[in-house]
Structure 1
Amino acid sequence: MQNHAAGQRPRHTGKRLLSQDDDQEAMFRLSSTSKDSSRNVRPRKYRTEEAEAEYRTFPYELPEVVINEHDPQPGLGYLPIDSIAEVERKQAHRKSCPENYFNASRRRSTSPMANRAQMADIERRSTRYLNVIENRRPPYSQPSITRARSHEGHESPPDRYRGRTSHSTSADREIINPSFHGGGAFAGASHFTIEAATMIDNSVSITERVGGLTRLQQFMASSALYDSKERFDPPKCDENTRIRLIGKMTGWARDSDISQRMLCLTGPAGSGKSALQQTVVEKCAEEGSLLAAFFFYAQDARRNNLGTLIPTLAYQIYQNIAATRKPMIKAVEDDPAIFERKVDIQLNRIIIVPLQDALQSPGTFPRSWPRNIFIDGVDECRGEVNQIHLLQLLRNLALTLNHSEFALKICFASRPEHAVRSAISARGHLGRSGLLYHIDLSEHNATSDIRIFLQRRLTEIAETTPYPLPSAPWPSEDDIEKLADNSSGQFVYAATIIKYLSERRRSPFSQLQVVLSWSPGTKRRERPFAALDTLYTSIFAAASEAYKESKSIDDDLVLVRYIRMLQVMALTYTEAQPGAVEALLGLEQGELQILVSDLHSLVDPEGSGLGLQFFKLRFHHKSVPDFLQDPDRCGNLFISSTRIALDLLSLSTRWLVDEARIEDCLSKEFALGIWLICALEAITKGSDTEREELRTFLAGSGNDWAIVEKGFSLHSWPSRGEHFQAFLHRCNVLNLFNKSKHPEWSKPLRMVRSLDPVISNKLLTAEGRWKKP
């Protein structure tokens, strides 16, 4: 910068000690070893009136700073002379009157190059200056050269800036590169000398103490909250439905003195567990008794594991109990890696300990605190080990927080899968704890509630649809009754139908006819059960993967194949001992229990007689067998009925030729029934390729048929008119009785004919085609 002529603002190159009166009017003069030290500006107090007038007409002349040309970060150590208000005023003036800025620059130099250099210099210095002011950095502590202002006389910095304070009383100190010492007023500056100064560094890195709540928010799963926007319009109980169950659950939530502080809600897939949880959670939130909630969901990576559970619960506790906030945030800030530690440690440090500290805080009223925690979808947490661990965590939490004025209560809902069944059994850790209150939805018939739901929703659709409806009342009572019966007590079926009929681009009348006339295997463009199919697919896929890994079998469909075989066995009208079923399928003893252990949300274990004297597979819902038999619905899980029949035909034949079992009349009846049904299935529904496979199998059986025929003759077979008639009719149509063309069918058909000669004679009379082989 060039020297000013007479009458202009003079340069100030001398040293002067500043008093407190100079705080807002002067800039501290730093002695520089640089050749450019003459650029320091004279404080306003010593300017002439003419210089002051020029300064005011050129409002963008900012305080000069001592700059060393070798400084890698020049200008970071300046001390401004203007107040924040003054700087903001100048900034506003600059934006409103840019011509003053340009004209003032022209008066300082007539050289275009110099003019541009001055403008660039002013722009650079003003940007640095305003950035610091606008960012509201903590005030720098100025060195006290006269020692008139001692350390004790300094105003204490705000709490958020309070940190390590360092002192230096050296007479003269030359700082070569203090940047390695940390932050501060001279961070990054170098090659300047401070004489006889007492230096106090009040700067501090605030990242260590700020961010406890922020980190909690970062690691929580907002989509798991009961009112999350990501769960918009979650399932809830319809008005005037599930009244009794809702009353039980809300009564439990309101009872602060109940000893059974862990409510377990179980039920088959689609029975309405999540809808009940959502309804009761919202009621508790309205009443102020909700402490926290977490909704697991297998398809959401943020809420299908234990990683986000504790931070999400902790965040809600932080919001609902003010006394836990300081100890909870302190725990997070003291250990920034807390969320990388084991879940047990997280639970103890950021939930249990803060709640215990809050209980001991004076002036708190724990009896008024909310105390209900709801966990939905334990079975949606990935991995059986994680599910077991989760239930142990919940038990420990309930046992630990059992204060006389604050007894924590936990409600969790799940399908009756292995981890939950084991925990709540009489020998399980929850069953033995004395804390458990169990509600099993399979014991509550929901048909009447489903009927109410269907009637209300279908009426709403009829009132709002733009499509013409039939002249008769729609829906009819018969329609509603059939849908309610098809639902088998599962709300998910009814909800899926309503969603399908609500499609605004299609007539609800025609869509309802599609639903009512649906049969497995029918080729259709519509998919009225898409939501239901997704649910069933996820359950079967997860169970198949777990079973395949446990048996080290390289077959993705091994579990589905066994279930399909058990389906066919259920058609024999004969109940068999579990041991006989396992032997026929080639399973180890007790394997049947393991086979369906991950399918209790679809398979009815008690109705099937699992663990009892006789076994016969039964499902909770009628739509499960339909799902498995329809390739359009089950997709990659599909195995044709004929394929299953051929497999079982081979297994039952092997069973029958075993002399050791031939006198076992009950097992023989079971095996003979399977043989007959599988043969019927292969003949009536098989493709040409599958029937050829069946023919090859029969032709290759050889002398085994003599033993099989003996098995048939030793048993008085009851009449199965419908099956026999269909079977024999199909054999006749395919000309299988022609011994010369189909010799492989000679012995099998003779056995079948001997079972029910009355049916065969009727067929012979009616068709006139019966020919003895």
Structure 2
Amino acid sequence: MINDWNSVPDSFMEKFAEKYTIPGAEFDSSERDPPPKCHPGTRLSIVDRTQNFFRKHKDEKRLLWLVGPAGVGKSAIMQTLAENASAPTSNVLLGASLFFSINGRDRTSKAILTLAYQIAVAYPPYCKFIRTEILKEPTLPTKSMSAQFNRLFTEPFANRRIYKESKPLLILIDGIDECSGEDKQCEMVSLISHFSLLSSELIWVIASRPEPHLSAKFSEHTIAQSCVLEEVQIDSDEAREDAERYLRADLDRIRRTYPALAHFTQWPREGDFLKLAYTSGGLFAYASTAVRFIDDMAFPNPVSQLKQVLEIIDHTSSRLREGDPHPMANLYALYARVIFHIHKNVLADTKKILLFLRSQTDTSLRRTCNWLGITQDVMHSALHHLHSVLNIPPANSTGDQYLSFHHKSFSEYISDPKRSRLFTDTEAETEMLNSQCALRILKEAMGMPLPMAPTLSTHSRISLYWEGGDSEDKLDLYSSAIYHLTNSLLSSSELSRSRLPIHTLKAIDIQACLEHQWNTPLTDLRQLLTDKTKQSELEQNAVLEDIPLRQLNAESFDKDMEIDVLYQSRRARDSVFSPFEQWCKQSIPHDGEGPSERNGCEEWRISLSSSVCHECMERVLREFQYGKTHSPDQLIKVFIDVRQFAWAIYEFIYREDESVCWTYIIPYHSPPTAHPIK
């Protein structure tokens, strides 16, 4: 039995969850509370057909695609399947449930690892397997999706057959169309489909919209042969009956909740109810939004609110007859009425919050206020009329709860300037907003107005707008601002046109980033500093400075920190392996990142440290000493951060092949005084 196996107590699972999984992605996570659920008595036929599919798992088809348009309740169905499967009486064992979402749970890079972690919790023998695999190869979590899938799924379940339970292991993936990257979505489908032919012990359910790229992928012959299609339709009799059942029950709940409705013998009137039910059709997103609108405590008058909904239906119906065929027109009309109620005095703050919400992966109340620079009372005033479209924690909450869209369709609605007219260009306006916020935070960190040289600055100078914040909140803001700064400058074709001044790079504290494992902004920064198309502007703004090689002292190198090595070749290499594999004779993986094409060259990157490969570090130091001896006046570029910690960028042509250029980005503790040589 499962519980017979006991692992040696250690922190492996805790660290694995913290570093490699998507937070809040499981069906019972507090971050999804309250989750979408099927109303009692609804979706029974679909659930029954799915349960029947589970019972036939020994057949050839062990993958089910639950597909349907936006708003039909796919996530609610998947939630019901997960809850049913977690019951002791279930005929399956719930191995994993992964609910992707635009509200931050969209990282494909951690999808396979998240599934693996959840299965390890549900089935301890598998925990032993992944522990052994990752301790044997610590870089496995950084490998490609296919490499992770083969090692963590194909090898244990198809090749070794480690799953010994009588119940099949169920894996649910909801909203695969909401994870980042269409190519990654299709790759995941291909991997799962191929695997399902190899193992009869695992069964998969994937839910998504019928997006063109996914429809094409599931239509491929090999995948179609291994997959069962379960279509959730809007206009089916079953969908309409289920939506009507939900509406009738919730409107009756509202009638019983409000004392003012007690004198009504029937509410709503049957004709009004049928109009609402007919408009909902099988679109649960519309039905649930309408109920929340009618039950909105900001307007504690359900009779008046229902009247508005019916007026919207009448108005929208006339427009539909005039030729507006959009399938979400009725829902969008309801969204328009919600926005109409936002008071003009708070509209600017409301728009800021909505822009931030649609662009961020971490949107707690606390972080929203601190990033946007608004207080708690301002935020709650700005969101007062949006409870029917947003999941808004109560005003007395701690600030750790998350803001989120009730349904993706509202995010799509506000992003469409032709329909919402709330924004003219959401992408540009989001970029502008985040740039303004990042600049405000970095100015505070530097301690004086830009572009003056910064004093020794830390995150402690940064202002917090949510009461009761601490140093960790300031660190989070500082990290996010640095990330946005480096990413903005890196993606800008001309640095002078960036919305963030180049001088703000001087606010970066490299050691603080390293101490808190903020690797992404530092990776972007190193790429920016070595981009030859941008170096001239960086030098003009004193971000990079030229010094002769002889002024550097190898004894001041921080050998405990990583050295970035960049390989560039003007001609294509014959080998399919990275140049670092040929560079080092040790039997240690040196995969690197690449190849990529940049400035007409084939490019590879790798980060080295003594703990990874001592021989490679020694080679870097030998090359540096050779250059210092033979070319002491060669100019190298130096970036000096706010704490006077430096990166020395040493670039040289390879002696054995003049078509190859090597660049070392070396951490330096005692930066020389940079005197640009003219």
* Both structures adopt the same fold (TM-score exceeding 0.5): no
Higher strand share: 2
Q: TM-score, normalised by structure 2?
A: 0.45
